[in-house]
Homo-oligomer: A and B are copies of this chain.
């Protein structure tokens, strides 16, 4: 017997109640029964997005919703400002470039948060910037960017919208779309929503919806105006991933029962415990100054191969954590505390990490990290 523990920042573990809800006999989507389910899903999403806007559900992964944001707001030749501080920040630029949207780039060192002042400077220098694309919680680095401050800056530009990839952030931390004045918020199902991948969600402010009236980029499957019209009637333009929508109703109900603030606090404490633990083990955080509540990126100590570490964790202990991506591959590992995770998921992560590091010859006293985590998690 080997029990498996998925401690990655997406996909994340799915509660058995949610998994089993997908076994509900398939129903037709053009029925009142489905519309009732979809209405409940929308209600749940609206409360997590903290918005009065319609939250649209797309049958795609989060990247599909990111692309939807670009192609529904902009036209070829428009200029976008992209905050690129990791793999997913860069993805905004890749999408823009695929559609001949000019991109100005604020390049941020991986592990650092963007300085909002650089956004202010860029907007001041180029009044043609139509959209600012950014990441809230950057999954590749474990950084949480200061979206609230950035939103305040962008708000001063009536012709510019702020588009936020909140795929890893939403549900792990507050993303009060309307309060902060975010124009587009995107998420995916396989993160804090405690779902399998396959659905993405997107909400637009009035300012963003106005841009959809002038956008010339071609689109069909990801046409948000069409979806808005259809989803207002609890339908979707094309056949939705029915089982995943049914599952989403279940996971949203779980979030509602826990209470959104409690969900955020749980993520916050798990994150603090994880950071305290790895630091107690003498390890260095990649993003000590602006850490995400969704995941913790840790620099691999000298002499420890990340692949060997992840191999022991996975093969011997059944614990799956993430490695680094792109140029951080082999240099960091990433431990998630995201979605359906609680005190003992973090204890498992840290204790397995200790045992694997020790086996690889890294000097540490077993239990040191666990103790540091426990001291924080008694408050959860």
Contacts and interface: CB of A to CB of B under 8 A. Distances in A.
Copies per assembly: 2
A61 interface: yes
A23 B98 CA distance: 37
B25 A22 contact: no
Given A59-B197, A221-B67, A25 B11 contact: no
A209 to B, nearest CB: 19
Contact of A242 (B23, B67, B196, B217): B196
B64 A26 contact: no
A217 to B, nearest CB: 7
Given A63-B221, A188-B239, A197-B241, A26 B6 contact: yes
Given A60-B60, A63-B221, A218-B217, A241 B98 contact: no
A40 interface: no
Given A64-B221, A67-B220, A243 B28 contact: no
Contact of A198 (B27, B31, B62, B198): B198
A360 interface: no
A324 to B, nearest CB: 12
A180 interface: no
Interface in A196-247: 196-198, 217-223, 238-244
Interface stretch (A13-21, A110-118, A157-165): A13-21
Contacts of A25: 4, 6, 13-14, 19
A95 interface: yes
Interface in A97-142: 98-100
Contacts of A12: 26
A13 B220 CA distance: 28
Contacts of A19: 22-26, 243
A195 to B, nearest CB: 9
Nearest to A63: B238
A10 interface: yes
A320 interface: yes
A16 B23 CA distance: 7
Given A28-B320, A63-B239, 5 more contacts: A19-B24, A63-B220, A98-B220, A98-B223, A198-B242
